[in-house]
């Protein structure tokens, strides 16, 4: 009987600690990426977004004129939440490479007012390559497992022995003394668990510091609509276009990261390719970047808005990234350079900011735009 009780205590300790470090692995994020539905609208500070994924619900806010604008994006990972989140760590580790990538699929939806017109977008993104995955990193898992404090098992065993002794004791004073000893051991157990959690957090933090700039590759697809909402009886929605893109990043030493994007965009009868790259330097808490973007877009100075464009009377160019239909617009080359950074305000909140300078192919400056966003994990 004693051997059975000992075995049950051991299983209880192992299960409790396995849950502790598996939840820690799920929440080990190298960074908080911008929602793809926001990125395709061009309202994120960085036009060259970093590839990557999280395993949480997420919301992005666009900050405009020093106020939180009603422009926001929501992002979720349905495959992870509906399947893997309900099973243990081994279920994910034993999955095929395709299913592991499929579990990173995110769906995002956003709304934003751009160039005077309301836009909404939907995007699906999947991470197809990651240099580091904390959920399958054997070195990390073994290190977390080593932190399972075997003193906890011994304390459980002592508590069980004292309970048995208290049940058999005939003297009240003896039973009281045994119960006081049990209370003392429970307090000791709490202290052991608190120390254990702190050690697990330290290991996770060190792992993120070492791999915040791990190499990755994403592929994504999204659609955009324009709309107005002056009243329920006058709601209009127009298809604006779609985008298909791939973006990858490459680790450069301990503090550097090179990122690139190749994107095809189609709006109305106009299709365009965008090629861009960036260099980022810093750490997971704060980093700075410089990026350069080349794309061919309609010449907005001379373009004629199509008669089929519902919201032509509302267009007032600000970001210049609105999705509108033009009649035989001449395509023109543009270069955009941006300087900005990320600042991790807390474990779940990221501030992203940048200053964009847009110019024509003959290096004529056309725009100077400050942009800032807040990204929050909904834990």
CATH number, position 364: 2.40.160.40
* Main-chain phi, psi angles of 316, to 5 degrees: -140, 105
Given pLDDT bands bounded at 50, 70 and 90, which one contains residue 361? low
Tell me 314's DSSP state.
Answer: G
**226 and 344, same domain (yes or no):** yes
Structural domain contains residue 29? no
**127 and 144, same domain (yes or no):** no
Given pLDDT bands bounded at 50, 70 and 90, which one contains residue 14? very low
Residue 312's CB is within 10 A of a number of other CB atoms, namely 15
CA 134 to CA 198: how far, in whole Å? 18
Residue 114's CB is within 10 A of a number of other CB atoms, namely 24
- The mean pLDDT of 122-138, rounded to a whole number, is 89
Beta strands 270-282 and 256-267, pairing class: antiparallel
CA 217 to CA 352: how far, in whole Å? 21
**229 and 117, same domain (yes or no):** yes
**264 and 314, same domain (yes or no):** yes
Percent of the chain with pLDDT over 70: 80
Given pLDDT bands bounded at 50, 70 and 90, which one contains residue 224? very high
**290 and 350, same domain (yes or no):** yes
Last residue of a domain, one of 209, 231, 254: 209
**106 and 144, same domain (yes or no):** no
Q: Which of 144-148, 161-165, 295-299, 371-375 has the highest mean pLDDT?
A: 371-375
**75 and 123, same domain (yes or no):** yes
pLDDT at 6: 46
**234 and 315, same domain (yes or no):** yes
Tell me the residue range of the domain where 309 lies. Answer: 34-131+214-377
Structural domain contains residue 6? yes
pLDDT at 70: 65
Taking every pair of Cα atoms in the chain, the longest distance, rounded to a whole number of angstroms, is 98
**70 and 50, same domain (yes or no):** yes
Tokens of 208: 């993120």
**308 and 240, same domain (yes or no):** yes
* Main-chain phi, psi angles of 12, to 5 degrees: -60, -45
- On whether the CB atoms of residues 72 and 62 are closer than 8 A, the answer is yes
Three-state DSSP at 46 gives: coil
Query: Does the pLDDT value for residue 18 go beyond 70?
Result: no
**294 and 328, same domain (yes or no):** yes
- On whether the CB atoms of residues 34 and 373 are closer than 8 A, the answer is yes
pLDDT at 290: 94
Question: How far apart, in Å, are the Cα atoms of 284 and each of 114, 207, 211, 237, 360?
Answer: 30, 11, 9, 40, 34
Last residue of a domain, one of 156, 184, 209: 209
Q: Which of 104-113, 178-187, 370-379 has the lowest mean pLDDT?
A: 178-187
* Number of domain units in the chain: 2
- The mean pLDDT of 273-284, rounded to a whole number, is 92
More confident residue, 40 or 267: 40
CA 304 to CA 291: how far, in whole Å? 30
Tokens of 252: 């450069």
- On whether the CB atoms of residues 123 and 34 are closer than 8 A, the answer is no
Structural domain contains residue 357? yes
Structural domain contains residue 170? yes
Query: Does the pLDDT value for residue 318 go beyond 50?
Result: yes
Structural domain contains residue 28? no
Last residue of a domain, one of 159, 188, 209: 209
Structural domain contains residue 107? yes
Structural domain contains residue 286? yes
Structural domain contains residue 157? yes
CA 378 to CA 58: how far, in whole Å? 5
Identify each DSSP E strand in 14-114 by its residue range: 58-64, 67-76, 106-114
**266 and 298, same domain (yes or no):** yes
pLDDT at 129: 93
- The mean pLDDT of 43-55, rounded to a whole number, is 88
């Amino acid at each position: 009987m004693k051997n059975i009780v000992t075995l049950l205590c051991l299983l209880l300790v192992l299960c409790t600690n396995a849950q502790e470090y598996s939840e820690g692995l799920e929440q080990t994020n190298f960074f908080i990426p911008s929602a793809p539905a926001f990125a395709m609208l061009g309202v994120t500070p960085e036009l060259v977004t970093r590839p990557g994924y999280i395993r949480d619900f997420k919301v992005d806010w666009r900050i405009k004129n020093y106020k939180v604008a009603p422009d926001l994006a929501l992002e979720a990972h349905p495959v992870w939440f509906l399947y893997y989140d309900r099973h243990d760590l081994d279920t994910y580790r034993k999955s095929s490479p395709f299913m592991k990538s499929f579990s990173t699929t995110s769906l995002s939806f956003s709304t934003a007012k751009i160039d005077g017109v309301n836009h909404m977008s939907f995007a699906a993104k999947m991470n197809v390559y990651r240099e580091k995955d904390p959920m399958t990193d054997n070195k990390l898992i073994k290190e977390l497992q080593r932190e399972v404090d075997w003193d906890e098992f011994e304390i459980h065993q002592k508590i069980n022995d004292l309970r048995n002794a208290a049940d058999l004791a005939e003297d009240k004073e003896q039973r009281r003394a045994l119960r006081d000893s049990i209370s003392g051991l429970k307090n000791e157990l709490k202290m052991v668990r608190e120390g254990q959690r702190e050690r697990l957090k330290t290991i996770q933090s060190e792992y993120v510091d070492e791999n915040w700039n791990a190499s990755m590759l994403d592929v994504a697809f999204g659609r955009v609509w324009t709309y107005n909402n002056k009243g329920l009886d006058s709601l209009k929605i127009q298809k604006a276009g779609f985008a298909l893109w791939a973006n990858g990043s490459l680790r450069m030493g301990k503090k550097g990261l090179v990122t690139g994007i190749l994107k095809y965009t189609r709006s109305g009868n106009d299709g365009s390719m965008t090629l861009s790259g960036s260099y980022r330097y810093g750490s997971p808490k704060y980093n700075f970047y410089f990026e350069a973007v080349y794309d061919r877009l309609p010449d907005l100075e001379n373009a004629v808005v199509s008669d089929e464009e519902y919201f032509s009377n509302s267009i007032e160019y600000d970001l210049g990234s609105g999705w509108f239909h033009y009649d035989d617009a001449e395509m023109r080359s543009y270069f955009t350079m941006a300087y900005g950074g990320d600042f991790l305000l807390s474990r779940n909140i990221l501030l992203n900011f940048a200053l964009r300078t847009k110019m024509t192919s003959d290096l004529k400056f056309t725009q100077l735009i400050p942009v800032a966003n807040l990204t929050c994990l909904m834990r």
